[in-house]
Amino acid sequence: MSEINKKTVCPLPWLHFSAHLDSTMRICCNSDHLGFVFDDEGKTMKLRDVSSISEYFNVKYYKNIRSKMRNGEKPVECRKCYEVEENGGASVRQSYLECYKDNEKFNESFNQTKPDGEIEPKVQSLDFSLSNNCNLKCIMCNPDASYPLKQDFDKLGFEYSKEFTQGAHINWKDETPIERLIPEITEHLKEFLTTGGEPFLSKTHIAALKIIIESGKAKDVTLSYHTNCTIRNEELFRLWDEFKHISVHFSIDSHGPLDEYIRYGTKWEKVLSNVEMMLEKKNVHAEVHTCVQALNIFNLPELYDWIATLKNRIPSLPYHIWMHHPSWLHINILPREIKQGALDRLKKHFEENKNGKDHFYEERSTQICSYLERSIRDEQDLEGLRVFKERIRKFEKLRGQEPVENLVPELKCLFE
């Protein structure tokens, strides 16, 4: 691959098969709604509309993306990745390129790409956002991704896309496309990412895993998940033994009662026992993923202390997700002096715990402090704060939750 190609090419349009929450086909989960794949009539496609893998990868839309990437152009569908790179960050594209740069099948497929972008697809990566079936009602979520939230949003009169929510609720229930397409995909398969909703609740996922196991290819495949850690699915955990590796991202935003408040429906004791159980399995690699937001910015040290009790079985700090949506939970709604207090607390924690920690710890602790420092320089989002106060109280009343300031006293001043 030439140096020019390295600046624009992403392996995913060559080898990745991905479907959104409502089973709409997309280039990848990072391409958002911009990355929906269109058929030759210009219509989006659901998983059930894919008649064969070869036909799907060679619709005009896909060919055009690949030929642009090969010609040193940046397709607009992938702008999120290119923007990150232009701002000096590391993009998802770059991480996939690093991962697949010496992959024989990808290089063969790339080198044999026809001038118009046509390929003989060898799918190595699957990525299904398997419906909005979920058991929790997290405060930052919406009915698109958690069907039970529909009831709360309806009662409170909050807006959401009814059509998408319904599609995400029913479109994955038909397992026929999985039974038809997965056997065609398994030959070269290396990785299978499943998100939700809550993926551990998905029957479709179990059906897909059984087909992969029957094909005899499971030992070549790594399974990846984002899970809320509240579901113990014994059948799924037994099937894991057949696969090469299991990579699990524990979605946990705080420790104990505050996690129960943010991720409504969570029982912390259940999280603890499920995390222990997953970490006991030999082929499981895990880390905590934390949505950094106005509600948990003060309490991150308690979360870090709990992670430390897991004694080196997972990375010592979580992967921090800078939460932008919904904007009323962004840390920019907080006054500067409050954020300064949170920053001082974090710095003190890192100073007291730095001994014996690795480069990775240093990198993540620096990132979270820089994020707060940048936010302290930003203007406070007063409109966001207004919505925050209104919505928090409405959710608390509907759910019979105690006021958030009982759990996070630093937020008390916002309501005075």
Question: Any contact of residue 193 with ligand SF4 (CB under 6 A)?
Answer: no
Q: Do residues 276 and 242 touch, judged by C-beta distance below 8 A?
A: no
| Segment near ligand SF4 (CB under 6 A); pick from 9-17, 220-228, 324-332, 380-388 | 9-17
CA distance 73 to 79: 11
Over the window 19 to 58, marking each residue x when it contacts ligand SF4 by CB under 6 A and - when it does not, the resulting string is --------xx-xx---------------------------
Q: What is the CA angle 9-212-63, rounded to 5?
A: 25
| Cβ neighbours for 416, distance < 8 A, ≥ 6 positions apart | none
Q: Which is nearer to ligand SF4, 325 or 386 (CB)?
A: 325
- The vertex-228 CA angle with 224 and 230, nearest 5°, equals 115
C-beta of 9: minimal distance to ligand SF4 in Å?
A: 8
Q: For residue 68, state whether it binds ligand SF4 (rule: CB under 6 A).
A: no
Q: Residue 107's closest CA among 118, 128, 122? A: 122
Between residues 83 and 344, which has the closer beta carbon with respect to ligand SF4? 83
Binding mask 358-387 for ligand SF4 (x = CB under 6 A): ------------------------------
Question: Is 126 among the residues that bind ligand SF4 (CB under 6 A)?
Answer: no
Count Cα atoms within 13 angstroms, Cβ side, for 25.
22
Cα separation of the two ends of the chain: 60
Range in contact with ligand SF4 (rule: CB under 6 A) among 88-96, 206-214, 300-308, 331-339: 88-96
Q: How far is the CB of 10 from ligand SF4 (least distance, A)?
A: 3
| Residue 12 binding ligand SF4, by CB under 6 A | yes
Report the amino acid identity of residue 303.
L
Q: With contacts defined by CB under 6 A, how many residues of the chain interact with ligand SF4?
A: 13
Question: CA 64 to CA 15: how far, in whole Å?
Answer: 15
Q: Which of 48, 80, 389, 391 binds ligand SF4 (CB under 6 A)?
A: 80
- Number of residues that make up the chain: 416
C-alpha span between 290 and 314 (Å, rounded): 14
Among 78, 181, 211, 284, binds ligand SF4 (CB under 6 A): 78
Query: Which residues lie across from 192 on neighbouring strands?
Result: 126, 223
Residues of this chain that interact with ligand SF4 (CB under 6 A) are 10, 12-13, 27-28, 30-31, 78, 80-81, 92-93, 96
